[in-house]
Protein backbone atom coordinates (compact mmCIF):
# COMPACT_ATOMS: atom_id res chain seq x y z
CA UNK A 1 0.00 0.00 0.00
CA UNK A 2 3.05 2.30 -0.05
CA UNK A 3 1.98 3.39 -3.54
CA UNK A 4 -0.62 5.64 -1.94
CA UNK A 5 1.56 7.19 0.78
CA UNK A 6 3.28 10.55 0.38
CA UNK A 7 6.91 9.97 1.42
CA UNK A 8 7.94 13.62 1.18
CA UNK A 9 5.94 16.34 2.89
CA UNK A 10 5.54 19.93 1.80
CA UNK A 11 5.80 19.30 -1.95
CA UNK A 12 4.81 22.44 -3.89
CA UNK A 13 4.56 23.22 -7.59
CA UNK A 14 5.09 26.75 -8.81
CA UNK A 15 2.60 28.32 -11.20
CA UNK A 16 5.21 28.28 -13.97
CA UNK A 17 5.68 24.53 -13.58
CA UNK A 18 2.00 23.61 -13.76
CA UNK A 19 1.09 21.79 -16.99
CA UNK A 20 -2.38 23.09 -17.86
CA UNK A 21 -3.86 22.37 -21.28
CA UNK A 22 -3.67 25.55 -23.40
CA UNK A 23 -7.02 27.15 -24.19
CA UNK A 24 -8.25 26.63 -27.73
CA UNK A 25 -6.30 23.40 -28.28
CA UNK A 26 -9.48 21.48 -29.08
CA UNK A 27 -12.81 22.34 -30.66
CA UNK A 28 -16.06 20.52 -29.83
CA UNK A 29 -18.65 20.54 -32.61
CA UNK A 30 -22.40 20.68 -31.81
CA UNK A 31 -22.62 16.94 -32.51
CA UNK A 32 -20.02 16.29 -29.81
CA UNK A 33 -17.03 15.59 -32.07
CA UNK A 34 -13.66 16.72 -30.72
CA UNK A 35 -11.26 18.21 -33.26
CA UNK A 36 -7.71 19.50 -32.94
CA UNK A 37 -7.81 23.25 -33.71
CA UNK A 38 -4.80 23.07 -36.03
CA UNK A 39 -6.46 20.28 -38.00
CA UNK A 40 -9.68 22.32 -38.06
CA UNK A 41 -7.86 25.34 -39.50
CA UNK A 42 -6.16 23.25 -42.19
CA UNK A 43 -9.58 21.86 -43.14
CA UNK A 44 -11.07 25.34 -43.81
CA UNK A 45 -12.62 25.37 -40.31
CA UNK A 46 -14.80 22.37 -41.12
CA UNK A 47 -14.94 19.44 -38.70
CA UNK A 48 -13.52 16.40 -40.54
CA UNK A 49 -15.52 14.14 -38.23
CA UNK A 50 -19.01 15.34 -39.15
CA UNK A 51 -18.60 18.05 -41.80
CA UNK A 52 -19.84 20.79 -39.47
CA UNK A 53 -18.94 24.24 -40.84
CA UNK A 54 -17.67 26.32 -37.92
CA UNK A 55 -18.60 30.01 -37.99
CA UNK A 56 -15.73 32.12 -39.26
CA UNK A 57 -15.30 35.80 -40.07
CA UNK A 58 -14.00 38.08 -42.79
CA UNK A 59 -10.35 37.33 -42.01
CA UNK A 60 -10.83 33.62 -42.76
CA UNK A 61 -13.06 34.12 -45.81
CA UNK A 62 -10.56 36.55 -47.34
CA UNK A 63 -7.85 33.93 -46.82
CA UNK A 64 -9.99 31.37 -48.63
CA UNK A 65 -11.08 33.55 -51.56
CA UNK A 66 -8.15 35.84 -52.40
CA UNK A 67 -5.02 34.51 -54.09
CA UNK A 68 -2.16 34.32 -51.55
CA UNK A 69 -4.41 36.27 -49.13
CA UNK A 70 -3.53 39.52 -50.95
CA UNK A 71 -6.23 42.17 -51.09
CA UNK A 72 -6.93 45.87 -50.63
CA UNK A 73 -9.47 46.75 -47.96
CA UNK A 74 -11.91 49.51 -48.94
CA UNK A 75 -13.46 52.12 -46.61
CA UNK A 76 -11.87 50.42 -43.62
CA UNK A 77 -12.42 53.22 -41.11
CA UNK A 78 -16.18 53.84 -41.38
CA UNK A 79 -17.79 53.77 -37.91
CA UNK A 80 -21.36 53.98 -36.66
CA UNK A 81 -22.68 57.08 -34.90
CA UNK A 82 -25.49 57.40 -32.34
CA UNK A 83 -28.10 59.70 -33.93
CA UNK A 84 -30.92 58.28 -31.78
CA UNK A 85 -29.02 58.49 -28.47
CA UNK A 86 -30.04 54.86 -27.92
CA UNK A 87 -29.69 53.25 -24.48
CA UNK A 88 -30.63 49.72 -23.43
CA UNK A 89 -28.52 47.99 -20.77
CA UNK A 90 -25.73 50.33 -21.87
CA UNK A 91 -25.29 53.31 -24.16
CA UNK A 92 -24.92 52.50 -27.84
CA UNK A 93 -21.49 54.22 -28.16
CA UNK A 94 -20.28 52.13 -25.23
CA UNK A 95 -21.58 48.97 -26.87
CA UNK A 96 -19.84 49.89 -30.12
CA UNK A 97 -16.57 50.59 -28.32
CA UNK A 98 -16.74 47.28 -26.45
CA UNK A 99 -17.41 45.38 -29.69
CA UNK A 100 -14.53 47.15 -31.43
CA UNK A 101 -12.12 46.34 -28.61
CA UNK A 102 -13.24 42.71 -28.45
CA UNK A 103 -13.21 41.98 -32.19
CA UNK A 104 -10.61 44.51 -33.47
CA UNK A 105 -13.19 45.41 -36.14
CA UNK A 106 -14.75 48.80 -36.89
CA UNK A 107 -18.20 47.34 -37.65
CA UNK A 108 -19.99 44.18 -38.77
CA UNK A 109 -18.75 44.11 -42.38
CA UNK A 110 -15.44 44.46 -44.23
CA UNK A 111 -15.07 45.02 -47.96
CA UNK A 112 -12.00 44.24 -50.04
CA UNK A 113 -10.85 43.82 -53.62
CA UNK A 114 -8.22 41.38 -54.85
CA UNK A 115 -7.43 38.58 -57.26
CA UNK A 116 -9.37 35.31 -57.00
CA UNK A 117 -7.98 32.67 -59.35
CA UNK A 118 -6.23 35.46 -61.21
CA UNK A 119 -9.20 37.79 -61.78
CA UNK A 120 -10.45 40.78 -59.77
CA UNK A 121 -13.27 40.24 -57.29
CA UNK A 122 -14.89 42.57 -54.75
CA UNK A 123 -15.93 40.79 -51.53
CA UNK A 124 -18.09 42.21 -48.73
CA UNK A 125 -18.03 39.87 -45.74
CA UNK A 126 -20.05 40.21 -42.54
CA UNK A 127 -18.67 39.36 -39.10
CA UNK A 128 -21.13 37.81 -36.64
CA UNK A 129 -18.77 38.50 -33.76
CA UNK A 130 -19.55 42.23 -34.04
CA UNK A 131 -22.93 42.69 -32.29
CA UNK A 132 -24.33 39.57 -33.93
CA UNK A 133 -23.47 40.74 -37.44
CA UNK A 134 -26.30 43.26 -37.12
CA UNK A 135 -26.94 45.54 -40.07
CA UNK A 136 -26.75 49.23 -39.23
CA UNK A 137 -25.96 52.31 -41.30
CA UNK A 138 -22.29 51.41 -41.73
CA UNK A 139 -23.06 47.89 -42.97
CA UNK A 140 -25.52 49.20 -45.54
CA UNK A 141 -23.20 52.03 -46.59
CA UNK A 142 -20.19 49.76 -47.02
CA UNK A 143 -22.13 47.22 -49.10
CA UNK A 144 -23.47 50.09 -51.20
CA UNK A 145 -19.93 51.39 -51.68
CA UNK A 146 -18.74 47.88 -52.60
CA UNK A 147 -21.42 47.82 -55.30
CA UNK A 148 -20.36 51.30 -56.48
CA UNK A 149 -16.74 50.11 -56.74
CA UNK A 150 -17.83 47.05 -58.71
CA UNK A 151 -19.92 49.26 -60.99
CA UNK A 152 -17.09 51.73 -61.58
CA UNK A 153 -14.40 49.10 -62.18
CA UNK A 154 -16.74 46.55 -63.81
CA UNK A 155 -15.68 43.86 -61.34
CA UNK A 156 -17.98 41.08 -60.02
CA UNK A 157 -19.29 41.50 -56.45
CA UNK A 158 -19.69 38.82 -53.81
CA UNK A 159 -21.44 39.42 -50.47
CA UNK A 160 -21.03 36.92 -47.61
CA UNK A 161 -23.94 37.26 -45.18
CA UNK A 162 -23.71 36.24 -41.52
CA UNK A 163 -26.19 38.28 -39.53
CA UNK A 164 -28.90 38.35 -36.91
CA UNK A 165 -30.72 41.06 -38.86
CA UNK A 166 -31.13 44.84 -38.65
CA UNK A 167 -29.48 46.66 -35.72
CA UNK A 168 -32.19 47.82 -33.33
CA UNK A 169 -30.01 50.60 -31.88
CA UNK A 170 -30.39 52.46 -35.19
CA UNK A 171 -34.09 51.65 -35.67
CA UNK A 172 -35.48 53.00 -38.97
CA UNK A 173 -31.99 53.96 -40.13
CA UNK A 174 -31.17 50.23 -40.17
CA UNK A 175 -34.32 49.42 -42.14
CA UNK A 176 -33.39 52.04 -44.74
CA UNK A 177 -30.32 49.94 -45.59
CA UNK A 178 -32.58 47.27 -47.12
CA UNK A 179 -33.75 49.68 -49.79
CA UNK A 180 -30.34 51.30 -50.30
CA UNK A 181 -28.47 48.03 -50.87
CA UNK A 182 -31.25 46.66 -53.09
CA UNK A 183 -31.10 49.73 -55.34
CA UNK A 184 -27.32 49.39 -55.72
CA UNK A 185 -27.63 45.72 -56.65
CA UNK A 186 -30.26 46.62 -59.23
CA UNK A 187 -27.76 49.03 -60.77
CA UNK A 188 -25.23 46.20 -61.00
CA UNK A 189 -27.83 44.03 -62.72
CA UNK A 190 -28.60 46.80 -65.24
CA UNK A 191 -24.88 47.01 -66.03
CA UNK A 192 -24.64 43.19 -66.41
CA UNK A 193 -22.07 42.93 -63.61
CA UNK A 194 -22.41 39.62 -61.73
CA UNK A 195 -23.40 39.56 -58.06
CA UNK A 196 -22.99 36.37 -56.02
CA UNK A 197 -24.61 36.03 -52.59
CA UNK A 198 -23.26 33.51 -50.09
CA UNK A 199 -25.56 32.83 -47.12
CA UNK A 200 -23.73 31.43 -44.10
CA UNK A 201 -24.87 30.49 -40.61
CA UNK A 202 -26.91 32.45 -39.63
CA UNK A 203 -28.46 34.67 -42.30
CA UNK A 204 -31.63 36.13 -40.81
CA UNK A 205 -33.84 39.21 -40.58
CA UNK A 206 -33.24 42.24 -42.76
CA UNK A 207 -30.22 40.79 -44.53
CA UNK A 208 -32.36 37.92 -45.82
CA UNK A 209 -35.06 40.42 -46.80
CA UNK A 210 -32.61 42.39 -48.93
CA UNK A 211 -29.17 41.74 -50.41
CA UNK A 212 -28.75 38.14 -49.20
CA UNK A 213 -31.45 36.85 -51.55
CA UNK A 214 -30.84 39.12 -54.55
CA UNK A 215 -27.83 37.40 -56.10
CA UNK A 216 -27.56 36.35 -59.72
CA UNK A 217 -26.43 33.18 -57.96
CA UNK A 218 -27.60 32.51 -54.38
CA UNK A 219 -25.46 29.92 -52.63
CA UNK A 220 -24.91 28.64 -49.10
CA UNK A 221 -22.79 26.45 -46.90
CA UNK A 222 -24.18 23.14 -45.56
CA UNK A 223 -26.44 23.33 -42.52
CA UNK A 224 -26.71 27.13 -42.43
CA UNK A 225 -29.71 28.76 -40.74
CA UNK A 226 -31.39 31.03 -43.29
CA UNK A 227 -34.69 32.83 -42.75
CA UNK A 228 -36.46 36.08 -42.00
CA UNK A 229 -38.14 35.45 -38.65
CA UNK A 230 -36.98 32.71 -36.30
CA UNK A 231 -38.71 29.31 -36.17
CA UNK A 232 -40.48 30.14 -32.89
CA UNK A 233 -42.02 33.31 -34.37
CA UNK A 234 -43.11 31.48 -37.52
CA UNK A 235 -44.63 28.67 -35.44
CA UNK A 236 -46.52 31.06 -33.16
CA UNK A 237 -47.76 33.17 -36.10
CA UNK A 238 -48.97 30.28 -38.26
CA UNK A 239 -50.07 28.04 -35.41
CA UNK A 240 -48.56 25.06 -37.19
CA UNK A 241 -45.70 22.70 -36.52
CA UNK A 242 -42.76 23.32 -38.83
CA UNK A 243 -41.34 20.62 -41.13
CA UNK A 244 -38.08 18.93 -40.24
CA UNK A 245 -35.03 20.94 -41.28
CA UNK A 246 -37.07 24.13 -41.68
CA UNK A 247 -34.88 27.17 -42.53
CA UNK A 248 -31.74 25.13 -43.13
CA UNK A 249 -29.84 25.68 -46.37
CA UNK A 250 -30.83 22.18 -47.50
CA UNK A 251 -34.54 23.00 -46.99
CA UNK A 252 -34.20 26.26 -48.94
CA UNK A 253 -32.36 24.51 -51.79
CA UNK A 254 -35.15 21.93 -52.04
CA UNK A 255 -37.76 24.72 -52.21
CA UNK A 256 -35.97 26.80 -54.84
CA UNK A 257 -34.54 29.66 -52.77
CA UNK A 258 -30.91 28.67 -53.36
CA UNK A 259 -29.05 27.67 -56.51
CA UNK A 260 -26.62 25.31 -54.81
CA UNK A 261 -24.82 24.44 -51.59
CA UNK A 262 -21.04 24.26 -51.55
CA UNK A 263 -18.50 22.88 -49.14
CA UNK A 264 -16.15 25.57 -47.90
CA UNK A 265 -13.11 23.84 -49.40
CA UNK A 266 -14.76 24.13 -52.83
CA UNK A 267 -15.99 27.71 -52.39
CA UNK A 268 -13.25 29.51 -54.32
CA UNK A 269 -13.43 27.15 -57.30
CA UNK A 270 -17.24 27.13 -57.39
CA UNK A 271 -17.59 30.92 -57.20
CA UNK A 272 -15.11 31.51 -60.00
CA UNK A 273 -16.54 28.70 -62.13
CA UNK A 274 -19.98 30.32 -62.04
CA UNK A 275 -18.52 33.75 -62.71
CA UNK A 276 -16.84 32.34 -65.83
CA UNK A 277 -20.14 30.82 -66.94
CA UNK A 278 -22.13 34.01 -66.29
CA UNK A 279 -19.56 36.15 -68.13
CA UNK A 280 -19.27 33.63 -70.98
CA UNK A 281 -15.49 33.43 -70.62
CA UNK A 282 -13.12 30.41 -70.65
CA UNK A 283 -13.32 28.31 -67.49
CA UNK A 284 -10.32 28.72 -65.22
CA UNK A 285 -8.71 25.50 -64.04
Q: Give residue 30's Cα distance to chain centre.
A: 18
Nearest to 40 by CA among 31, 29, 32: 29
Nearest to 156 by CA among 123, 126, 134: 123
| Model confidence pTM above 0.85 | yes
pLDDT tens by residue, the chain, 285 residues? 555 566 666 666 555 555 554 556 788 887 788 888 888 999 999 998 889 999 999 999 999 999 999 999 999 999 999 999 999 999 999 999 999 999 999 999 999 999 999 999 999 999 999 999 999 999 999 999 999 999 999 999 999 999 999 999 999 999 999 999 999 999 999 999 999 999 999 999 999 999 999 999 999 999 999 999 888 888 899 998 889 889 999 999 999 999 999 999 999 999 999 999 999 999 998
| Cα 94 to Cα 96: distance, rounded to the nearest angstrom | 5
Angstrom CA distances, 276 to 69, 119, 215, 219, 261, stand at 21, 10, 16, 16, 18
Q: What is the DSSP string of 219-271?
A: EE-TT-BEESS-HHHHHHHH-SPPPTTTTBHHHHHHTTS-SEE--GGGHHHHH
Amino acid sequence: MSWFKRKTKGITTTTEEKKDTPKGLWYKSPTGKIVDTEELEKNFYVSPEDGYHVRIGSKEYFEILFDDNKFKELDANLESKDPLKFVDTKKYPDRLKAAQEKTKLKDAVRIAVGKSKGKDLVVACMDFAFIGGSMGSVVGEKIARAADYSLKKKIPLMVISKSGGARMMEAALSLMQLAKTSVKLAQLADASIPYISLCTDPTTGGTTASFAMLGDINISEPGALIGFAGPRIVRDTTGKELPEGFQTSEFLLEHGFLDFITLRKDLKNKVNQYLDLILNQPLRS
